[in-house]
């Protein structure tokens, strides 16, 4: 029987495939060190877990408002105000099952068949597939390591056509860890306003920034850019809550209305007691546990960067945010996929090949793993490259 033409070109998530392969080898007793993780290796803080347990015990086991509980939306409004200096109201917030779901909803809401979405490359691998799921066309805009993997505004202007509907900005970026400064966002915002397109700003790694970097939300720059922006964030990375599936977006009230209706016919509300966990996370004033995770990621980043910088044939980009190191391996003469699969079978080290992110010259190493794993895993890579 003929299946959906629109979905026939959708590729499964390659990062999940590689981490699954590494897990399979581990289950067989192989001593695999994995740099594949796309999630913090810390447990969710106890106060968050307790809030969900309490909610369960109190019988909060029913449907909530499909677009998220009112209390949680209010907490998100306060978060945007305090952390990002953006004034949203509760009717502009939609809570979903992870930022991935929020992004998916956003593209469903804004795209018509054939609409183009500009995606700076390297990109998080789900963006193009989500755009295609919504009938859109991904348009890739190459960025370079020497420019911090940031898009060039004149390239951006050239890429805009009458079919352009949106631009995706992901700062800090997965896979590069690159970040945009406020003045760079201002330039991008001007283009977005002039050409009257949307900007989908994925800010999921906002809290994981290093070297005292000051994070800026593009929607905070002025009222007009705010109207053009769909700001996406979530609990997964900052609060170590990947399995809870909680994300949210904020946007113009008319767009939010469309997304709320769409979600009400698809998933309905995110899990009720998970939302209580999210509420506890966002309203906790003592941020010491969250801060400690960030400090630990920064330390691991430094260790990983120093070791890779001393290695031959592999050049790391020093990330200012997120927990990934994007490394150029073209000097080995191998394409990323070949490099990653040989490294896994021969040296038992899992890395994510850059083809998943739009580059066959790079691999992505996650430093969301212990210092011991970082040191041992990199020693194996170094020995293997030496051979």
* Smaller CB separation from ligand PLP, 220 or 356: 356
Distance CA 184, CA 207 (A): 19
Interface residues toward ligand PLP, by CB under 6 A: 38, 98-100, 124, 170, 174, 202, 204, 234, 236, 242, 247
Nearer residue to ligand PLP within complex by CB, 164 or 356 = 356
Compute the distance between CA of residue 11 and CA of residue 316 in angstroms, rounded to an integer.
27
Could you tell me the smallest distance in angstroms from the CB atom of residue 326 to ligand PLP?
13
Cα separation of 104 and 344, whole Å?
32
CA-CA-CA-CA torsion sign (316, 356, 322, 168): positive
Shorter beta-carbon distance to ligand PLP: residue 36 or 98: 98
> How far apart are CB 176 and ligand PLP at their closest, in Å?
11
Residue number with CB closer to ligand PLP (33 or 97): 97
Q: Minimal distance in Å, beta carbon 383 to ligand PLP?
A: 30
CA 159/CA 318 separation, integer angstroms: 28
- Region of 82 on the Ramachandran plot (φ > 0 left; ψ -120 to 50 alpha; else beta): alpha
Instruction: Output 64 or 171, the one with its CB closest to ligand PLP.
Output: 171
Q: Token digits for 29? A: 């007793």
3-state secondary structure 145-172: HHHCCCCCHHHHHHHCCCCEEEEEEECC
Nearer to ligand PLP, 92 or 174 (CB): 174
Report yes or no: 217 and 203 within 8 Å, Cβ to Cβ: yes
279 contact partners, CB below 8 Å, separation of at least 6: 51, 69, 71, 72, 75
- Considering the complex, what minimum distance in angstroms separates the CB of residue 204 from ligand PLP? 4
Residue number of the CB atom closest to ligand PLP: 98
Distance in Å, CB of 276 to ligand PLP, minimum: 17
Q: Is the omega angle on the peptide bond into residue 146 within 30 degrees of 0, that is, cis?
A: no
In the complex, the smallest distance separating the C-beta of residue 162 from ligand PLP, rounded to whole angstroms, is 28
Q: Cα–Cα–Cα angle for 300, 301, 306, nearest 5°?
A: 100
Residue 300: CB atoms within 10 Å: 21
Nearer CB in complex with ligand PLP: 172/334: 172
Q: Residue 177 Cβ, how far from ligand PLP at the closest point, in Å?
A: 11
């Amino acid at each position: 029987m003929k299946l959906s033409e629109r979905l026939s070109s959708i590729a499964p998530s390659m990062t999940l495939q590689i981490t699954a392969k590494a897990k399979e080898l581990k289950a067989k007793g192989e001593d695999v060190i994995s740099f594949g993780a796309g999630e913090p290796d810390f447990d969710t803080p106890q106060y968050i877990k307790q809030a969900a347990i309490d909610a369960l015990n109190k019988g909060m086991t029913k449907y909530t408002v499909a677009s998220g509980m009112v209390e949680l939306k209010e907490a998100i409004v306060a978060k945007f105000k305090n952390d990002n200096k953006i004034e949203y109201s509760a009717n502009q917030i939609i809570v979903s099952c992870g930022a991935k779901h929020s992004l998916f909803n956003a593209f469903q809401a804004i795209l018509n068949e054939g609409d183009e979405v500009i995606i700076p490359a390297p990109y998080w691998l789900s963006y193009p597939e989500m755009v295609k799921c919504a009938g859109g066309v991904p348009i890739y805009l190459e960025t370079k390591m020497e420019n911090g993997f940031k898009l060039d505004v004149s390239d951006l202007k050239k890429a805009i056509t009458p079919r352009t509907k949106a631009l995706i900005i992901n700062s800090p970026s997965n896979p590069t860890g690159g970040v945009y400064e406020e003045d760079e966002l201002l330039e991008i915002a001007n283009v977005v306003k002039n050409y009257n397109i949307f900007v989908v700003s994925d800010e999921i790694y906002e809290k994981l920034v290093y070297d005292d970097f000051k994070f800026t939300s593009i929607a905070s720059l002025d009222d007009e850019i705010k109207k053009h922006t769909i700001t996406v964030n979530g609990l997964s990375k900052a609060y170590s809550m990947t399995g809870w599936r909680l994300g949210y977006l904020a946007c113009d009230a008319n767009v939010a209305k469309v997304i709320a209706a769409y979600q009400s016919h698809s998933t309905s509300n995110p899990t009720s007691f998970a939302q209580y966990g999210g509420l506890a996370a966002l309203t906790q004033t003592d941020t010491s546990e969250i801060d400690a995770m960030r400090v630990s990621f920064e330390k691991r980043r430094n260790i990983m960067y120093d070791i890779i910088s001393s290695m031959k044939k592999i050049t790391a980009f020093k990330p200012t945010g997120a927990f990934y190191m994007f490394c150029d391996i073209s000097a080995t003469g191998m394409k990323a996929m070949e490099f990653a699969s040989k490294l896994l079978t021969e040296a038992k080290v899992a890395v994510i090949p850059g083809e998943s992110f739009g580059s066959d010259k790079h691999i992505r190493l996650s430093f969301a793993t212990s210092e011991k794993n970082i040191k041992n895993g990199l020693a194996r890579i170094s020995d293997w490259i030496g051979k």
